[in-house]
């Protein structure tokens, strides 16, 4: 006879519990009686198993939560940024003259078109547009959901007023050149038609200019426009609107706050507000970042940017700018620089890579041409030469520039090889100027460096062309238009042809590229400019800098791939956020 295995107390207890229910699974009240039927060892084993079950269930729950939850931007939070300079005209008609004005204008105004975070041209206030086959008629349909910050609807009359103001010489807008030869009409409140005398390739890019509210500006006489209160407390249609400003006891603006536009037509704006604090010098601005008086900065010197990013104080933005730094030769003021052999020797003597490193460290690319990478006609096979010091010395010697016994400076017919480099009071530019001075001194030139502030640079040095060599940066616009920088008509103020470059073939090619939709015309203009530039040397091209600015590491959604101007860092500002919400 087979022996039965002894029955455990726990199995008996469970069977008894089941029997109590007539074969049904026991109730919770019955389960609570189970411990009375268990031994100490069984109670301990049961407790451990129960704890393990609870822990396993909890872990599975957490894993499910983490694998299925999504963090989304949420409304809320503020951001404070330091800016170099102080606003004067927060007005699309004038803002191009100042980075601070451009920043605030970008936050508060909208154009028919805009550049997005990838620097692609897309619609903004315009819902759609069409272009005629002959590239002369542009027809835009406005969004019917766009409102001004005061609640009034945006209409085609606002566009008409803005374009008329730009074209009106009484407003003195520097944007006039982009709208010469065009007329605008509005057949209804949501349609605007532009007619051009001839095709103009950059026209769509020009329409990124912010639109003004006609119902407010029509009350201001054109001659009084620069004095209007609306320049400081503007009404726009952009993602942010004026909130408050703070002045010091001398009347200077110290900070400016814009708040979220709850009725922005394009997307939800997440940040509650953005405050810009203003500083007179780059050193003051950098110190404010380091001392955490601000969370970010509109611009930083390369040396400071690297150390602040390394210390985790900031998140560094460093997109490549459509900008170059060059040493412009003023042949009209300096008889020495009017000598083509001298200019050629100065170019031969310079190691651009060393100058770029001295100026911006790793945040610049040496260049030899005014046609930059990604611009039509750029020669991607071009080589960046090193310094040919001996070649430069030989060229000077063979053309009569020699050194007398005991002298360190070369001279020719009693004229010494002496000139001054003038540059802006900026750490990057001063470092580049000092390196140029060192390299040019090595071939027998007597070089001085003169540092000036922004006001003197604009109102004297550039306006009056009072320089021998001007070390400065120039920035191409959203559309790489060569006209303002290299056309001969722009060699006098306020033109930007600082080296006085004149070449009629290049002029004709630049003009043809502006009025043609054929991209080959722009390529041809770029190639002709490069060839003529290399022969005539109106300037020494040095490097293309990256735009360095600081953001808070706790600010998200800020990525911008490409910028043309510093204000482009706000291209996707409505996507910036600090707070999040959970979604499944």
C-alpha separations of 282 from 84, 277, 286 in Å: 6, 13, 6
- List, edge to edge, every strand of the sheet that includes 191-196: 126-131, 137-142, 191-196, 182-188
Q: Which residue has the tokens 């038609």?
A: 193
pLDDT at residue 542 greater than cutoff 50: yes
pLDDT for position 559: 83
Lowest mean per-residue pLDDT among 218-227, 267-276, 425-434, 556-565: 556-565
pLDDT at residue 478 greater than cutoff 80: no
Q: Which residue has the tokens 């956020």?
A: 577
pLDDT at residue 67 greater than cutoff 70: no
Identify the helix (H) or strand (E) that includes residue 51.
helix 40-68
Rounded to an integer, what distance in angstroms lies between the CA atom of residue 151 and that of residue 168?
Answer: 28
All residues at 6 or more sequence positions from 34 whose CB lies less than 8 Å from its CB, including other chains: 10, 13, 14, 17
Q: Confidence band (pLDDT; 50, 70, 90) for 33?
A: low
pLDDT for position 59: 75
* Inter-residue contact 122 to 105 (CB < 8 Å): no
CA atoms within 13 A of residue 485's CA, in its CB half-sphere: 22
User: Averaged over 468-489, what is the pLDDT?
Assistant: 90
pLDDT for position 61: 65
pLDDT at residue 8 greater than cutoff 60: no
pLDDT for position 9: 47
pLDDT at residue 561 greater than cutoff 90: no
pLDDT for position 291: 94
Lowest mean per-residue pLDDT among 99-103, 375-379, 390-394: 375-379
Average pLDDT along the chain: 90
pLDDT for position 114: 95
pLDDT at residue 469 greater than cutoff 60: yes
pLDDT at residue 277 greater than cutoff 50: yes
What is the share, in percent, of the chain residues with pLDDT greater than 90?
68
pLDDT for position 1: 45
Rg, Å, the chain Cα set? 34
């Amino acid at each position: 006879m087979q022996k039965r295995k002894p029955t455990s107390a726990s199995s008996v207890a469970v069977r008894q519990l089941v029997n109590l229910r007539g074969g049904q699974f026991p109730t919770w009240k019955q389960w609570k009686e189970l411990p009375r039927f268990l031994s100490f060892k069984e109670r301990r084993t049961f407790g451990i198993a129960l704890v393990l079950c609870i822990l396993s269930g909890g872990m599975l729950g957490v894993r499910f939560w983490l694998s299925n939850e999504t963090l989304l931007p949420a409304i809320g939070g503020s951001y404070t940024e330091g800016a170099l300079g102080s606003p004067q005209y927060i007005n699309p008609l004038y803002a191009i003259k100042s980075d601070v004005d451009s920043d605030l204008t970008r936050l508060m105004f909208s154009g028919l078109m805009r550049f997005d975070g990838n620097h692609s041209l897309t619609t903004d206030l315009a819902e759609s547009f069409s272009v005629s086959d002959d590239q002369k008629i542009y027809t835009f349909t406005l969004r019917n959901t766009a409102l001004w910050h005061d609640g009034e609807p945006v209409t085609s009359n606002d566009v008409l007023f803005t374009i008329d103001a730009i074209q009106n010489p009484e407003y003195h807008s520097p944007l006039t050149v982009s709208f010469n030869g065009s007329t605008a009409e509005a057949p209804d409140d949501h349609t605007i038609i532009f007619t051009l005398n001839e095709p103009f390739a950059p026209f769509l890019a020009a329409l990124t200019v912010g639109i003004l509210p006609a119902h407010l500006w029509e009350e201001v006489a054109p001659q009084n426009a620069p004095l209007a209160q609306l320049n400081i407390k503007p009404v726009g249609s952009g993602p942010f609107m004026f909130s408050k400003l703070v002045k010091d006891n001398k009347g200077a603006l110290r900070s400016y706050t814009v708040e979220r536009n709850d009725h922005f037509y394009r997307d939800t704006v997440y940040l509650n507000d953005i405050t810009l604090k203003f500083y007179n010098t780059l050193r003051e601005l950098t110190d404010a970042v380091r001392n955490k008086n601000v969370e970010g900065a509109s611009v930083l010197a390369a040396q400071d940017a690297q150390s602040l990013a390394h210390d985790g104080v900031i998140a560094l933005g460093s997109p490549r700018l459509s900008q170059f730094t060059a040493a412009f030769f003023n042949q009209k003021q300096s008889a020495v620089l009017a000598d083509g052999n001298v200019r050629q020797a100065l170019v031969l003597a310079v190691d651009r890579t060393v100058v770029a490193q001295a100026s911006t460290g790793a945040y610049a690319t040496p260049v030899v041409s005014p046609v930059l990478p990604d611009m039509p006609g750029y020669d991607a096979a071009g080589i960046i030469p090193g310094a040919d010091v001996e070649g430069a010395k030989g060229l000077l010697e063979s053309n009569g520039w020699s050194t007398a016994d005991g002298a360190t400076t070369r001279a020719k017919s009693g004229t010494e090889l002496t000139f001054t480099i003038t540059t802006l009071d900026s750490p990057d530019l001063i470092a580049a100027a000092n390196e140029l001075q060192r390299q040019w001194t090595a071939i027998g030139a007597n070089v001085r460096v003169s540092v000036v502030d922004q006001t003197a640079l604009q109102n004297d040095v550039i306006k009056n062309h009072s320089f021998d060599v001007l070390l400065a940066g120039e920035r191409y616009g959203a559309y790489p238009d060569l006209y303002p920088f290299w056309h001969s008509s722009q060699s006098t103020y306020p033109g930007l042809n600082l080296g006085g470059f004149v070449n009629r073939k290049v002029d004709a090619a630049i003009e043809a590229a502006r009025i043609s939709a054929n991209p080959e015309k722009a390529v041809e203009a770029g190639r002709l400019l490069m060839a003529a530039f290399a022969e005539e040397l109106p300037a020494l091209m040095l490097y293309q800098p990256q735009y360095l600015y600081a953001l808070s590491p706790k600010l998200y959604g800020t990525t911008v791939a490409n910028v043309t101007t510093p204000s482009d860092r706000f291209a996707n500002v409505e996507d910036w956020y600090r707070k999040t919400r959970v979604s499944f």
